[in-house]
Amino acid sequence: MTMETTRRDFIKTTSVVTGGLMMGFTIAATKNEAKAAGMVYTPNAWVHIADDNTITILSARSEMGQGVYTAMPMLIAEELNVGINQIKVAIAPPGAVYVNALLGAQITGGSTSVRDGWEKLRISGAQVREMLISAAAAEWKVNRATLRAENGMVLGANGKKATYGSLAAAASKLPVPEKVAIKDPKDFRIVGKRVPRLDTPAKTNGTAEFGMDVKLPGMVYASLEQCPVIGGKVKSFDGSKAKAMPGVVDVVQISDGVAVVANSYWQAVKARKALSVQWDEGAGAAITTASVINGTRNAIGTGKVLEITKPVGNVADAMKGAAKVIKAEYITPMQAHAPLEPMNFTANFVNGKMTLIGPTQFQQGAQGAVAEALGLKPEDISVQTTFLGGGFGRRIELDFIVQAAQIAKAVGKPVKLVWSREDDMTHDFYRPAGVNQLQAGLDAQGNPVALHFKVSSQSVTQRAFGLPKDTLDPFMAEAAVAGYNIPNTQHDLIIHDSGMRVGYWRAVSHNMNAFANESFMDELAKAAGKDPYAYRMALLKDKPRFANVLKLAATKAGWGKPLPAGRARGIALMEGYDTYMAQVAEVSIKNGEVVVHRITVAADVGQIVNPDIVEAQIQSSINFGMSAGLKHEITLEKGVVQQTNFNNFQVVRMHESPVIDITLVKSTEKPGGIGEPGSAVVVPAIANAVAALTGKRVRQLPINAANLRQA
């Protein structure tokens, strides 16, 4: 259970995991580095302690800006009784012990990191703490009840003390206690505090390693020509001109296209332009934006209907007896992930073993996909995760990792595959288009007595994980059932395969379902002649967490108070990822475009690990959601994506970002997820504000000048 290693380079670990414990690992290190660090002991898979008292905590979730590199170690450090500045942090290697229990694999996504780690990481810290105390008790021959662990030391009577490092060797040989006491939240010293992010120094001084920063001795670069129509294959190609260009090492065909390999990235890109490739575009060449939307809409009447929940009451009879029936259709377009760091990965194939280094949200998937593609054993593939320059679900996909591995094996050199922005934008796994059709019956007082909710879209889970056909995809049904008390309800889901390559996108189906539900709720309030906020509150009896955030957001935003001329407010509410959130948007119109001045947020996220990270996540998700809601859509002509860069897929710029006023609810509930809900709630809040201001209801996103004119 001991090994020589460097203090800091745990990112290069490989592990053998058995029964939930890391039984051993090796790290490449120079003799000087190893000598400086001394021996490292591993009481469990999350904590490594060197005999010089260097403590390294592993984060099993990929750091892509969302703060897990800080939040996850905070949970362990709290129970280990060490200050956050006393630890170092590294990203965990692939291993069964690091599986995200909420997702069933070692995946970073679904706003699950803190929810999954809330108890198990605290328990892991407490286990190591208790093992260190037991080691000290055995060494000093005293009752362990007389000892305590604090600030990296075990303390006893009469000034007796020892560092964790000096006890780590003995502690690592003890059995891991199955049951340990973890702190009552009232005793937290770290969790719940505004702790500065641990990755900030490295990301500001240039020492942080992203995928684009990886360099290996003798490394070459690859640029990959792929079919303009996703799914198309190479019929034939001529690489002779490319091979003759300066710096070119090789031109190789792989399953997804033709790669040019050169001594520099720019040499590879220039030579790639000299390729002559004939493509078999396949069935995808027939896909257009209209075919995607129309097919999705038509499926509502022709496809198999799946129940999201069991119907409540009798919707059909209630509709017949309603004083008024309201119908509406809402359309959400396809979206690209477009993280600022384009897809890239480095691969090195030596002596039958593959080393993969780069940004991924799915370590086990990378290992398995490359093993299958190359005919290797998973244990012969190591995955080293760098920082991610954004993910949003795109880096759960494995295409670019397999491509890098195939190229590296073909050329026999370390290869870094780098996609251009245009490659990234036109070969994504897109958020699928969605069509929501809602119908409600109102009584004579305008109260809803019946609601029939229908959603049609493509199933990402069928494509990505083989969900059987005609099986409910829960990732299509998120936020479909709103929190309002309506006596008769029916919620239907229809899966339609548009032929596009689709993927999970930040907040997944919350985006289409919250947009539909919250826009429709405003439409019902208007039909009833009632205030949208008051209308919602009346439907939230016995829903305290919903009602509380709605009231907080409305009050903080000054709901009902006069605004400057040319401005209006809109409100929206949603539960997602065990987080309850309400937002109020304040908007105006300038030159036909929507200007968002202020977003007021009330969020009940349960118990909070780091309020500063929570606020940053809300701010980022609001700007992300605004980009999609006001500007973004992916369109197709003959199967070819028309958006190629940020000139025609624009993001919200700094001067367009609104004032964001956040209220976090103090709560003793279990933690909720926070990386995604804000992206879904902000869009209907803006849509409702625009409708209040202009009298026009935009039911097809984005809410841009063209769609506003057609509303």
Please report, for residues 14, 132, 144, 429, 465, the alpha-carbon distance to residue 667 in angstroms, rounded to integers and kept in the order given: 39, 33, 35, 37, 35
Please report, for residues 439, 582, 665, the alpha-carbon distance to residue 525 in angstroms, rounded to integers and kept in the order given: 14, 17, 27
**Cβ contact 181:222 at 8 Å:** no
User: To the nearest whole number, what is the mean pLDDT of the chain?
Assistant: 93
pLDDT digits (tens, 9 = 90+) for 691-700: 999 999 999 9
Q: What is the C-alpha separation between 711 and 709, in angstroms, rounded? A: 6
Q: Is the pLDDT of residue 255 over 60?
A: yes
Q: Is the pLDDT of residue 14 over 50?
A: no
Q: What is the number of alpha carbons within 13 Å of residue 517 lying toward its C-beta?
A: 28
Specify the pLDDT at position 4. 28
Comparing 14 with 57, which gets the higher pLDDT? Answer: 57
Could you tell me the pTM of the whole model?
0.93
Mean pLDDT of 514-524: 98
**Cβ contact 408:348 at 8 Å:** yes
Q: DSSP label at 396?
A: G
Confidence class for position 38, pLDDT limits 50, 70, 90:
low
Confidence class for position 44, pLDDT limits 50, 70, 90:
confident
Q: Is the pLDDT of residue 195 over 80?
A: yes
pLDDT digits (tens, 9 = 90+) for 273-330: 999 999 999 999 999 999 999 999 999 999 999 999 999 999 999 999 999 999 999 9
Q: What is the number of alpha carbons within 13 Å of residue 367 lying toward its C-beta?
A: 20
Grouping H, G, I as helix, E, B as strand and the rest as coil, residue 42 is strand
Show the beta-strand stretches assigned E in 134-247.
Answer: 148-150, 153-155, 161-163, 220-226, 233-238
Mean pLDDT of 403-421: 98
Q: Is the pLDDT of residue 600 over 50?
A: yes
Query: Residues of the chain with pLDDT > 90: what percent?
Result: 93
CB atoms within 10 A of CB 130: 21
Q: Is the pLDDT of residue 39 over 70?
A: no
pLDDT digits (tens, 9 = 90+) for 382-401: 999 999 999 999 999 999 99
pLDDT digits (tens, 9 = 90+) for 520-568: 999 999 999 999 999 999 999 999 999 999 999 999 999 999 999 999 9
Specify the pLDDT at position 42. 80
Alpha helix (H) ranges present in 428-564?
460-465, 510-528, 532-538, 544-557
Specify the pLDDT at position 1. 22
Q: What is the C-alpha separation between 454 and 93, in angstroms, rounded? A: 42
Q: Is the pLDDT of residue 707 over 80?
A: yes
Q: What token pair was written down for 349?
A: 């194939």
Q: In DSSP terms, which residues pair with 161 in a beta bridge? A: 155
Q: Is the pLDDT of residue 602 over 70?
A: yes
Q: What is the C-alpha separation between 153 and 707, in angstroms, rounded? A: 64
Confidence class for position 355, pLDDT limits 50, 70, 90:
very high
Q: What is the C-alpha separation between 284 and 20, in angstroms, rounded? A: 45
Mean pLDDT of 261-269: 98
Q: What is the C-alpha separation between 225 and 223, in angstroms, rounded? A: 7
Which residue type is seen at 582?
A
Mean pLDDT of 260-276: 98
pLDDT digits (tens, 9 = 90+) for 22-36: 222 222 222 233 233
Specify the pLDDT at position 43. 80
Query: Residues of the chain with pLDDT > 70: what percent?
Result: 95
Q: Is the pLDDT of residue 19 over 90?
A: no
pLDDT digits (tens, 9 = 90+) for 154-171: 999 999 999 999 999 999
Torsion 408-410-413-419 (CA) sign: negative
**Strand pairing of 353-358 and 381-385?**
parallel
Q: DSSP label at 469?
A: T
